[in-house]
Amino acid sequence: MSITKTILKSNKSKVIFKISAEAAKDFANASLVGDFNNWDASKDQMKKLKKDGSFSIQKTFESGKEYQFKYLLDAENWINEPEQDGVVETEFADSQNSVVML
């Protein structure tokens, strides 16, 4: 899995989130969910790449901020990004969110 960041003009950053083919092999669908979309799994559906079976999505964010997120696979399996910039404890005792800092 990976995160690729590109700083754009006008205080924006392009971020590509990718779930590797190995991590995605048993799943048909993936969503990027986070505080930027009210944790709504229907808003940022990830595209499954035919060439290798990985999932990917590109988003544009305001630079100079940090965003919490997770991946949701097949609407029931929550996973964190291992290459995140940080983690934040959630209100649930056994859960953390990944953080991307821009």
Is 36 a residue whose pLDDT tops 90?
A: yes
Question: Does the model's pTM come out above 0.75?
Answer: yes
Average pLDDT over residues 59-83: 95
When the pLDDT of each residue in the chain is averaged and rounded to a whole number, the result is 93
* List of domains in the chain: 2-101 (2.60.40.10)
pLDDT at 10: 87
pLDDT, residue 91, reads 81
Q: What pLDDT is attached to residue 84?
A: 94
76-89 core/surface letters (b: 16 or more CB in 10 A; e: else): eeebbbeebeeeee
Give the number of other CB atoms < 10 A from CB of residue 55: 24
